[in-house]
Structure 1
Amino acid sequence: MRDVYRGLAVVAAVVAVVVTVVVVLPPEPDEVVARPVTAPPAAPSSSGPTVSASATVSAGPTVSASPAAGDAPVERATPSPGPTLAPGYTPMEALAADPRVPRLTGAVKRMALSSPSRQVVKDERTGLAVPKLPKPWKSYGPAPFSTKQVLPKMRGTSLRGMVVTCPLPIMAQDSARDTALLAARWTLNHHPKGAKISWLASQPVKRGWMLVYRVTYGKHTSRAAVVIMDGGMSKPGLVFVTVPDAQRKQWRDISRVVSGVRVLG
């Protein structure tokens, strides 16, 4: 019997060791993953938006996931030329896409030019001279142009007739005609918003090109013209004249201006 009791004691000791080992074993890794430690959500403030816990934990930049293989590529819109020169387009392509400026066709006629004026305004920056117009026209502070002549101000509007000269403010083209077209488009910056051009006359002049056109904006119009001429300077010269319909009596002076542009010297 003594041997039996001794054997039972040994078995009991082994069982106790096994139980102890089971108790001290660490939890399985899966249990750690299943119960992550997270920060408690921040209490919402009375004046600002609620911030989620996930937003407060993240401290690094957000990285967007790459598209999975086989996903269709995202199509990007191709920029189209408009009133301003869009990237990737030449000036003439932008002009062709501008709805404010119609195509200049052979149907646009020439106009008869009057005799040049003897009295002129000289522009040393462009190497050009333009007729000095009689009253009610008067010389005026030219900035940002080289020379400027204006008609009197009218009540209730800032529009009034003006004749200005300056070095060409746009990119010169190989053709004087194309350069004049771009210059006419540029002059819309000096007409009311929404203005559109319709051509009245187009013809070459000595060392350049001339365009005469109507500018329509709402219920009103202006008559205008540009002359591009090489005055021997680093850039061609621009002569721009415009007269609103409220001063239509001076529309006849537009012909006088474009007829009298000449090179100095």
Structure 2
Amino acid sequence: MADVGDQMPSHDSPTTPFRKVVLPSEETVQIPRPPAQRLPAQQVPEQQPPDSVLSSLPPIPEPPKRGIGDIPMKVVYLVAAIIGTVLAVFLIFMLFSGDVPANKKAAERGASVAPAPASAGSAAPAPSGTASRVALPAAPASRKYPTLSGTASVVIGIVSDKNTGISYPSLAAPWKAKSFPPFSAAQRIGKVAVPPTVIASAMFPGDSPAKEPSKDADYRALAVEAARWAITTQYPQGATLTWTASKKIPVGKGWTLGYQVTYTLSGKEQVAQAMVTVVEVGKTKPAMLLASIPEAHKKHWRDINTLVERIRPL
């Protein structure tokens, strides 16, 4: 018996429906797959590598220690700049602290006030040096300092006398900074003689004032006592004094007296121009500046005018 398929025409017409082929039910078996069971994310066990794998891994190297060579160059430059600045300031301080004029070095040597010594072998008579009160005329309450004759020396610096607390001009040659006891600072022309050619500073001679000065009249009275001391210690015995000026100091508290001293030396009457200034410096005694220029050096009398105008408390 022929198959059904063999009896069908070789070509179906477009209107012929498709045949439905049905396989035997036992040839098709569908096995349902059980639903997959998933663990929560937090319950997924962490897998650790075997110990053999861990032991074979190289050890984790320690972080390298930073040495001097690892410091950034900016930090090195900054530290070097700071050190260089400190050294420069230190060197400048050391250099200039030793750069002290001879006048200032002399000013820092203190001494008690006593009669100035006469040079050895000098024919000039020694100053009286007595403590007796020499009679002096009353000082004028005010008198302008006259312009003295001569030519003013060049001012080459400032004498800062720390022992007394005052400063005043340092003058050019022939003035020279010289030790001149009992003064703490001094400039002289020529050898030590009586009377000397000197500019010198010291504390007020003698005892401290019984009453602290407060008025111009008080400082003027102290200046009179300083001039009295100068007459008895810096000039031959019998010297007399004539006041030439009386004025307040330009800065601070104090008083200046100018005077001319007449004395006899080797039988010849001579004169000297002089001044004395007392300055309040906050101590129990005021400071004193003394200048005396005998007739032998009268071409330097104008230097007294320079001192009068430029004395200052430190």
Residue among 162, 172, 186 paired with 1:124: 162
- Paired with 2:259 and 2:236, the residues of 1 have a C-alpha distance of 15
Cα gap change, 1:84 to 1:225, in 2 (>3 Å): same
Task: Tell me if 1:215 matches 2:249.
Answer: no
Q: CA offsets, 1:56-75, max 9 Å, x none?
A: xxxxxxxxxxxxxxxxxxxx
Task: Tell me if 1:133 matches 2:179.
Answer: no
Q: Is the 8 A contact 1:165 1:239 kept in 2?
A: yes
Q: Is the 8 A contact 1:160 1:247 kept in 2?
A: no
Which residue is equivalent to 2:144? 110
Task: Tell me if 1:165 matches 2:201.
Answer: yes
Cα distance, 1:144 vs structure 2 = 1.3
Q: Is the 8 A contact 1:148 1:164 kept in 2?
A: yes
- Paired with 1:119 and 1:216, the residues of 2 have a C-alpha distance of 32
- Paired with 2:187 and 2:181, the residues of 1 have a C-alpha distance of 11
The aligned amino acid for 1:167 is M
Q: CA offsets, 1:211-252, max 9 Å, x none?
A: 000000121011100010012233210000000001000100
- Paired with 2:143 and 2:220, the residues of 1 have a C-alpha distance of 14
Cα distance, 1:112 vs structure 2 = 6.4
Which residue is equivalent to 1:247? 297
Cα gap change, 1:151 to 1:118, in 2 (>3 Å): closer
Q: Give RMSD over aligned pairs.
A: 2.5
Residue among 224, 227, 234 paired with 1:181: 224
Normalised by the length of structure 2, the TM-score is 0.49
Q: Is the 8 A contact 2:194 2:234 kept in 1?
A: no
Higher relative contact order structure (alpha carbons within 8 Å, sequence separation ≥ 6): 2
Structure 2, unaligned runs of 5 or more: 1-129
After TM superposition, list the pairs within 5 Å mapping 1:1-265 onto structure 2.
84=131, 98-99=134-135, 101-106=136-141, 109-111=143-145, 119-153=157-191, 158-170=194-206, 171-172=208-209, 174=213, 175-188=218-231, 189-205=233-249, 206-218=252-264, 219-264=269-314
Normalised by the length of structure 1, the TM-score is 0.57
Q: Is the 8 A contact 1:180 1:211 kept in 2?
A: yes
Q: Helix, strand or coil: the match of 2:163?
A: coil
Cα gap change, 1:162 to 1:196, in 2 (>3 Å): same
- Paired with 1:177 and 1:160, the residues of 2 have a C-alpha distance of 24
Structure 1, unaligned runs of 5 or more: 1-82, 86-93
Tell me the matched-pair count.
Answer: 166
Cα distance, 1:136 vs structure 2 = 0.6
